[in-house]
Structure 1
Amino acid sequence: MKVAYLIQCHKNSRQIELLINSLILTKDDYVVIHIDAKSPRIAEELKEIYQLASNIHIVEDPVSVFWSGISQLQATLKMLRALYHNDINFDYCCLLSGEDVVLDVDKFKQYLCYADNKSFLDYRSDRASYCWRINRFNLFRNNRFSQTFLARACSALAIKLQFMVGLKRKNFRDEEIFLGSQWFTLSRVHADIIYEKVDDAVIKDFTYTSCSDEHFFQMLFSQWIKKEEIETFNLRYIDFPHGHSSPRYLSLNDLLLVRERPACFIARKVTSDVLSQYISFCEKR
């Protein structure tokens, strides 16, 4: 089983190194790292560490990533394209954040061996709650102020005004709107389709979209991939406390409990200390 790991990160080069070490890479595995363009020091540190690694590639022209902006999606697509530009042979590609942990690499790969080329993608159609993200313009997400109170207030006001005057984008019909977590594990068959079909026109339809990374792959899969080829559980454990837009940090005990869950191989998110503790636990078993 050849797995390509796509790691999207912006801080803590030591934690990224720990994560990569924990993946127990074989000669058939590959890693692509996108480091936020706002973190040049982290990029230099990782380039120094992996300058001689033939199966680890660091994206040379990264984007500045902003929460809920189109830049999140652009970073993911840059990593996916890097696999093809470097002619990497893989069976599955797995998108990870720099604060993820793969709980059991061997079991993860074994599971994928019997997955019959299905892709694992959080996928649902709560259109009534989220159609505004797609068919209204949001001009305040893809910048460094996107998480500030002022930017959020301006965003909410702009969306409300568009509803009031009946302004609606013509990029997608309501029945085409799907959503889910951005984190995925895609089969080579489906990654090929995404790579071949996604062009500037497709990306343009998602520009000025709120949280486009939580809709892009779901909506394209709904159009291009048969439903029976998609598993709607993305093999991950993520805990969002009630009312929070970001997941909580998991403890070592959390990880030990999660690893016992069926078909749950990746946990998000963890600190560097917890990741180190977990790696030590696994080495002692």
Structure 2
Amino acid sequence: MLVLLHKWTDQQKRLVEFLAREYEVFIHADKRSKLTIEPRSPRVHVYSEYRNYWGHHSLNKATLFLFRQAARTGFDRYLLISGEDVPLKPLHEITRFFATNDQEFFEHHAMPRAQWSGNGGFDRLDFFYPKVLSRGPANPLANKLNILLERLNRRLLIPAMRKFGRRPRLPVDYWGGGQWLNLSGHCVTQMLAWLDANPWFERKFRWTRCSDEIFFHTLIFNFVSDVEVRNDHLRYIEWHPGPEIPQVMRESDLDKMRQSPALFARKFDLDVDAAVIDALYAGLN
């Protein structure tokens, strides 16, 4: 189990301790957060190699790092989740599901994707997005500076690039979808070996935005062979009606989550609704 974390509260502790009952858990903690994580189980492995920024290539790097660390041991299945997830099924059911389903499970769509703004998502790759535009929450002065830089990027840099030349794309078919992956050991072994032999691929995604929803999808469809991919990330996520995007789950969502065939749901926030988290875990024991 691979987990991307940017905070460490009772919510994340509960998730990790629950997963470690049966699985090896590999955590990447956002280096910016300076989290102190002291695992209670030898099955939990904690790293903090990268400063992660929303929409930035650093998320791809942290995810790849976790795959590489876990692959040193070698597993039949690798699941990527966030610290804001909660399982919807008992661990033995998750294990049984993958024992009888050896496909790769992640959401995927050929690009350009109609639901994505900016030329079906290609604007994320075609134009220059410096790290400062992806820094996320900060103090009020820094936020104002980020807003100004974002406007300059969109009003000056991107229009200039549209006129004088975009970043060149790779000669591949691009695919995109949700960030959350459920990959077989066979797929991960091929994926990492190919990247080791072709480091240029990862370099092409520097200075992109939200390419964590494109990088692995494009890599697998173009350069990993002998795999069958299912268009299902096995997550229950509510993009509407909000107020958050995606919506933070509440007790009113319990029945829908319990009836879902998904293995996990996201996202949850202990400060928004702790009762829904308690209710889901109570049904897993």
TM-score, reference length from structure 2: 0.84
**Structure 2 CA distance for aligned equivalents of residues 125 and 251 of structure 1:** 33
Paired residue total? 264
Given that 2:55 and 2:209 are in contact with CA atoms closer than 8 Å, whether structure 1 keeps it comes out as: yes
Q: What does the per-residue CA deviation read over 1:35-86, in whole Å, with 9 as the maximum and x for residues that have no partner?
A: 111121x2x2x22xx1x63211001x421110000111111111111113xx
Aligned pair in 2 of structure 1 residues 219, 9: CA closer, same or farther (>3 Å)?
same
Q: What does the per-residue CA deviation read over 1:219-278, in whole Å, with 9 as the maximum and x for residues that have no partner?
A: 00110235861011111111223698831101134244223123x111010123232332
- Return the match for 1:20 from 16, 21, 24: 16
Aligned pair in 2 of structure 1 residues 23, 238: CA closer, same or farther (>3 Å)?
same
Given that 1:119 and 1:187 are in contact with CA atoms closer than 8 Å, whether structure 2 keeps it comes out as: yes
Q: What does the per-residue CA deviation read over 1:104-152, in whole Å, with 9 as the maximum and x for residues that have no partner?
A: 122222211111x211111101314112222222225664258743343
**Structure 2 CA distance for aligned equivalents of residues 241 and 151 of structure 1:** 29
SS at match of 2:4: strand
SS at match of 1:259: helix
- Return the match for 1:150 from 145, 148, 151: 148
**Structure 1 CA distance for aligned equivalents of residues 228 and 182 of structure 2:** 13
Structure 2: unaligned runs, 5 residues or longer: 113-118, 138-142
Question: Does 1:54 pair with 2:6?
Answer: no
Question: Does 1:135 pair with 2:126?
Answer: yes
AA at the equivalent of 1:33: I
Q: What does the per-residue CA deviation read over 1:129-177, in whole Å, with 9 as the maximum and x for residues that have no partner?
A: 1122222222256642587433432332322321122x1222414x622
Partner of 1:218: 217
1:155-194 paired onto structure 2 within 5 Å: 155-157=153-155, 158-165=157-164, 167-173=165-171, 176-194=173-191
**Structure 1 CA distance for aligned equivalents of residues 230 and 67 of structure 2:** 20
Partner of 1:80: 67
1:31-110 paired onto structure 2 within 5 Å: 31-40=25-34, 42=35, 44=36, 46-47=37-38, 50=39, 53-59=41-47, 61-84=48-71, 87-104=72-89, 105-110=91-96
Given that 1:18 and 1:276 are in contact with CA atoms closer than 8 Å, whether structure 2 keeps it comes out as: no
Segments ≥4 residues shifted beyond 6 Å: 242-245
SS at match of 1:176: coil
SS at match of 2:27: strand
Structure 1: unaligned runs, 5 residues or longer: none
AA at the equivalent of 2:122: C
Given that 2:182 and 2:233 are in contact with CA atoms closer than 8 Å, whether structure 1 keeps it comes out as: yes
**Structure 2 CA distance for aligned equivalents of residues 92 and 251 of structure 1:** 30
Shift of 1:209: 1.1
Given that 1:236 and 1:268 are in contact with CA atoms closer than 8 Å, whether structure 2 keeps it comes out as: yes
SS at match of 1:241: coil
**Structure 1 CA distance for aligned equivalents of residues 234 and 278 of structure 2:** 22
SS at match of 1:206: coil
Shift of 1:205: 0.7
The percentage of counterpart residues that share the same residue type is 24
Given that 2:20 and 2:41 are in contact with CA atoms closer than 8 Å, whether structure 1 keeps it comes out as: no
**Structure 1 CA distance for aligned equivalents of residues 201 and 52 of structure 2:** 20
Shift of 1:192: 0.6
**Structure 2 CA distance for aligned equivalents of residues 122 and 260 of structure 1:** 20
AA at the equivalent of 2:166: K
TM-score, reference length from structure 1: 0.84
AA at the equivalent of 1:54: P
Deviates more, 1:16-25 or 1:136-145: 136-145
Given that 1:68 and 1:141 are in contact with CA atoms closer than 8 Å, whether structure 2 keeps it comes out as: no
Shift of 1:90: 1.4
Partner of 2:232: 233
Query: What is the RMSD of the two structures over their aligned residues, measured on CA atoms?
Result: 2.4
